[in-house]
Copies of this chain bind each other. A is one copy, B any other.
Amino acid sequence: MKTEILRMLRETDGYVSGQELCNKFGVSRTAVWKVMNQLKDAGYEIEAVQNKGYHLLSVPDLIDKIELSSIRNTGWAGNEIFYYESIDSTNTKAKELAEEGYPSGVLVVANQQTAGKGRRGRVWISPKGTDIYMTLMMKPDIHPNHASMLTLVAALALAKGIRRETGEEVQIKWPNDIVLNGKKICGILTEMSVQFDCINHIVIGIGINVHNESFAEEISDTASSLFLESGKHFHRAGIIEAFLEEFEKTYAVFLETEDISRLQKEYNALLVNMGRQVHVLDPKEPFDGKAMGVTNKGELIVDTWESRKLVSSGEVSVRGIYGYV
């Protein structure tokens, strides 16, 4: 009921009458009044005017189940939300839930991670209350060999979601970092459990630096936050919801062909590497070249002076004003 009342308050321009709420939920005036007080305690600013009803003035920057559910507008993505004030890693939790039998679409969100994971065993710095740490769990019926493309699908959806919600012109650094003014503000860690020819589950872990005001000196040249780059504080739940909506749409397009041929153009348009010098840390031999976009399989096309190469793994840095990032 709390979620539904909050949703009604959000969706009503004027006032929501107390009597209307009583009738809708079959409860007393006192019960409605209690919910309003709980919401106020949580940080929602609610005005109560006699003979008119309740009116929502402002919302706090929460990302808990009530807040996310009250703005949820998706089909399968986030069909069940697990929120934690603090957790080791949202990816680890999402994998556990998958093994326990939870269905595709579960979203794990945390306000803090004590053992946040980055790619290749690195740490993802996850302070309390400033950023977004979330993992979407899926059990898709696609071939395992096609699944690595999902990380590009997620990057595209994330870039579009952030652009829509914040107006900031974020870009994608291949394969799946999101950058703003050339600095990394989001990372995606996709992990997958596979049998021979079928997928047990995939978890798409996303960290977004939203309000973060400082980074360790070692990474401050390359890492930043939406706040540091734009000077604005954005509503975290809005960004999460925007991502989920964009992901559902983008994923549906991916499923049509089980590759990114119909997303390629849009992805390339947001690709920060596009047309720029890149340095490819190929496991066999590093090389330099010019990035020319991605193929329909998600490989990065890199032209060197002697040949065209397709990069499907390894790390790629982009030449920027401050050298390679």
Say yes or no: B194 contacts A194, CB within 8 Å.
Answer: yes
A313 to B, closest residue via Cβ: B197
The CB with the most chain B CB atoms within 10 A, among A147, A148, A189, is that of A148
Complex interface: chain B residues within 8 A of A189 (CB): 195
From known contacts A145-B145, A313-B143, infer whether A193 and B195 are also in contact, taking CB-CB under 8 Å. no
Task: Please tell me if the beta carbons of B313 and A198 are within 8 angstroms of each other in the complex.
Answer: yes
- Interface of A (DSSP majority class): mixed
Closest to A196 in B: B151
Copies of this polypeptide in the complex: 2
- The reply on A119 being an interface residue by CB < 8 A is yes
Q: A193's contact among B151, B192, B198, by CB below 8 Å, is which?
A: B192
Complex contact A194–B196 (CB within 8 A): no
Indicate if A250 sits at the interface (CB-CB under 8 A): no
Closest B residue to A315 by CB, please name it: B197
Task: Provide the bound-state CA to CA distance between A188 and B165, in Å.
Answer: 48
* Nearest neighbor of A99 in chain B, beta-carbon distance: B92
Closest B residue, CB atoms, query A151? B196
Chain A residues bordering chain B, tally (CB within 8 A): 26
Question: Which single residue of chain B is at the shortest CB-CB distance from A145?
Answer: B145
Apart from A143-B313, A151-B196, A197-B313, list 9 A-B contacts with CB within 8 A.
Answer: A143-B312, A144-B148, A145-B145, A145-B148, A147-B194, A191-B193, A192-B192, A194-B194, A197-B314
Q: List 23 A-B contacts (CB under 8 A).
A: A92-B99, A119-B195, A143-B313, A144-B144, A144-B148, A145-B145, A145-B148, A148-B196, A148-B197, A151-B196, A175-B196, A189-B195, A190-B195, A190-B196, A191-B195, A191-B200, A192-B192, A192-B193, A192-B194, A194-B194, A197-B312, A197-B313, A197-B314
